[in-house]
């Protein structure tokens, strides 16, 4: 199955917009792990945002973020392989340093991406109202709070 990833609305119930690492895996997690009474709403509102609807500065930031995640994932795989083979020599140390550097780069790119997302907050809220009609999002959750 092809990996589908990108910026999405309602990956989680308490976050309006965030990066989705694997759309199909998230759908399966909702179906398997979330309460039955929440599944229909979660699946209806969980949507990847079409790239052609995003501003250029956001597309660039997301591409950088995606590349940083790919580099981090590769570094993590290399480190895991070095550990699995009980290679405690220089190659394991090198893999650990590469992983640490990739993590630092990912954090830096992630912060820049958050800044661009914040700069486009109003645009994303308008796009959300268009792509998620009749959405119960209240600024905190898609699940309306029950009166106590």
Give the residue ranges of the chain where pLDDT is below 50: 147-148
Q: Hey, where are the domains in the chain? A: 1-52+131-142, 56-119
DSSP for 28-63, written as a single string: HHHHHHS-HHHHHHHHHH-EEPPGGGS-HHHHHHHH
Scanning the structure block, which residue is given the tokens 């976050």?
15
Nearest Cα to 80, choosing from 68, 98, 67? 98
Q: What is the pLDDT of residues 23-52, one digit of tens each?
A: 999 999 999 999 999 999 999 999 999 999
The strand order across the sheet containing 6-9 reads 17-20, 6-9, 47-48
Instruction: Indicate the pTM of the whole model.
Output: 0.82
């Amino acid at each position: 199955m092809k990996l589908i990833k990108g910026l999405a609305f309602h990956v989680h119930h308490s976050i309006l917009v965030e990066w989705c690492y694997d759309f199909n895996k998230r759908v399966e997690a909702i179906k398997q792990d979330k309460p039955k009474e929440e599944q229909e709403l979660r699946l209806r509102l969980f949507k990847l945002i079409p790239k052609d609807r995003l501003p250029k500065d956001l597309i660039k930031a997301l591409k950088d973020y995606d590349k940083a995640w790919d580099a981090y994932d590769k570094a993590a795989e290399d480190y895991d392989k070095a550990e699995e083979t009980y290679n405690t020599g220089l190659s394991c140390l090198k893999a650990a340093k590469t992983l640490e550097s990739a993590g630092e780069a990912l954090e830096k790119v992630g912060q820049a991406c958050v800044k661009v997302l914040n700069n486009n907050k109003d645009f994303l809220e308008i796009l959300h109202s268009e792509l998620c009609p009749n959405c119960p999002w209240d600024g905190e959750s898609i699940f309306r709070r029950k009166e106590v």
